[in-house]
Amino acid sequence: MHAIAPPSSNNFNCFTGTGARPTLARVRRRFIQSVYRSDSVNFPNGVGLSRADWQSTCAILASKVVSQEQPTDKPDTGSGGTNHFPAVNGHKTAIDLDLVPIETADNSMSSSISSNNKPQPKPLTITDLSPAPMHGSQLRVAYQGVPGAYSEAAAGKAYPNCEAIPCDQFEVAFQAVELWIADRAVLPIENSLGGSIHRNYDLLLRHRLHIVGEVQLPVHHCLLALPGVRKEYLNRVISHPQALAQCELTLTKLGLNVAREAVDDTAGAAEFIAANNLRDTAAIASARAAGLYGLNILEDGIQDDSSNVTRFVMLAREPIIPRTDRPFKTSIVFAHGKGTSVLFKVLSAFAFRNISLTKIESRPHRNRPIRLVDDANVGTAKHFEYMFYVDFEASMAEVRAQNALAEVQEFTSFLRVLGSYPMDMTPWCPSGGD
C-alpha cells in the first residue's frame, strides 16, 4: 500500500509569493484535488459507513498532508518498497480500516495484529475527552451503586441509551465528571419518605459541578432471597438505610422478626447475598436487581407508602442556558451570620416577587460550625452557623429571579447558584413494578 502523497507545491504559490495570485476558492479547490488525486488507499468498507471509519480517514488524510508516515519493520514485499501502514497518533491503523494483514515468508501475521486476532486498545483521542459526545455517540453517566440500583434506573430515565458508569461512592461520581471520565452524574437528592440525602447536599457545595436537570423516579421495593429460601428461614434483612426505613411497617406485618442491617445500596445488598450464598438473609431492592443476581422475589411492593418517589439531579461540568419557554427551577446556596432576621429578609425577596420556594434545607457550615455570641451572656452562648439550600420555581432568564438574587446578595455573606434547569414535568403515578 502506498502512502498518501502531500499536495504539489505548485498549489501553494499563493503562500510562497511565486506565480500568479489565485483566488481563495481556486486555492481551496486545488488543495482538495491534490489530496484526492494522490490518494491510492482502498477502503474495502467504503468511507463514511461508520463513525470510526470516518474519524480514521480524516486523521490519516490530515497526517499525510504533512508527510507523516509510520514505517513497519517488515522486509520488502518484492514491489520495490517497504511496507507502510497509515499512522494516526503514531499508531498503525490497519485493523481499524479492515485492511488485510500482510504475511511474511513464514506465514506469520503482521506485528500490528495480536496472535488471538483481537483489536489492540486504541489510544485516547480528543473525541474521548469531549465535554459532550457528538455524532450520536452515547453519554457517559455516573451513578452511585452497582447495576440494578435505583440510581441506574434514574440515569436511564434522564438519558435514555446512555452508558451508565457505576461508582462505589457519591464522591466518586462527582470526581468522575470533574476528571472527564463521565459526562454527567445522576445522584439522589431527596426522597418523599426519607427526606434529604444530606451527603449530596454537602458535596454540591464542595464540588464545582452544575445542576442541569432533575428526574423523579417511583421507588418499588421487593424482598429478595436465594432460590429455595422461604421467609420463615430468614434471620436478617439487609439494604440501604432509607430502604429499610421505607419498608419497616410492611416487614412487621409480614411477621418477619429479623435483624435489619444497613449497607451502602439496595442492589449491592442483592449482589452481596448472591456472591456469598447467604440462605438466611434477604435484601430489599428492585425487581431488576433480582434478575441480575439470580434471586427470587419473596414479596413484591413492600414499601410502606405506594407514593414513594426519589428526586434525582443531573450534574455536568458546564451549566445550561436558562430559558423561559418551559417551567424552570433554580437551586442556590447561601450563608449569613446576622441572626434569623436576615433569613426572613432573604425569603421576603422571593415572596414579594411571587416566586414559589419548593425546598429549603439548612446544613451546618463545615468551616465555621460554632459561633460565639458576644451579648449579655458575655460570649458564653454558642450555636451553629448554617448554609441554606433553596430551590425556587423560576428561571434565571427571568428578570424577577435576577432581581431577587440581587437583593438576596445584599443580605448574605455567601451566595452561589447551583443551577437553573428544566423541571421534571413527567406525569407520575404509583409504580406497580419495574
Catalytic residue among 310, 328, 392, 412: 310
DSSP of 19-85: S----HHHHHHHHHHHHHHT-----TT-TTSSHHHHHHHHHHHHHHHTT--EE-S----SSSS--EE
Phi (first) and psi of residue 168, to 5 degrees: -80, -20
Is there a contact between 94 and 101 (Cβ–Cβ < 8 Å)? yes
Q: Which strands make up the sheet holding 414-422, listed edge to edge?
A: 357-364, 386-392, 328-335, 414-422
Q: Are 53 and 61 in contact (CB under 8 A)?
A: no
Return the amino acid letter for 263: V
Selecting among 312, 334, 388, 392, the annotated active-site residue is 312
Phi first, then psi: what are they for 225, rounded to 5°? Answer: -155, 170
Active site residue 312: yes
Q: What is the C-alpha to C-alpha distance for residues 34 and 65, in angstroms, rounded to an integer?
A: 10
Residue 135 — left, alpha, or beta (φ > 0 → left; ψ -120 to 50 → alpha)? left
Q: Measure the CA–CA gap between 405 and 350, rounded to whole angstroms.
A: 9
Count of C-beta atoms within a 10 Å radius of residue 133: 14
| 266 tagged catalytic | no
Place of cell 462505589: 168
CA dihedral 411, 416, 422, 426 (to 10 degrees): -90
Residue type present at position 256: L
Furthest-apart CA atoms within the chain: distance in Å: 100
Residues whose CB is less than 8 angstroms from the CB of residue 234 and which lie 6 or more positions away in sequence, other chains included: 225, 256, 258, 280, 281, 282
Count other Cβ atoms within 10 Å, centred on residue 248: 12
Residues tagged active-site = 310, 312
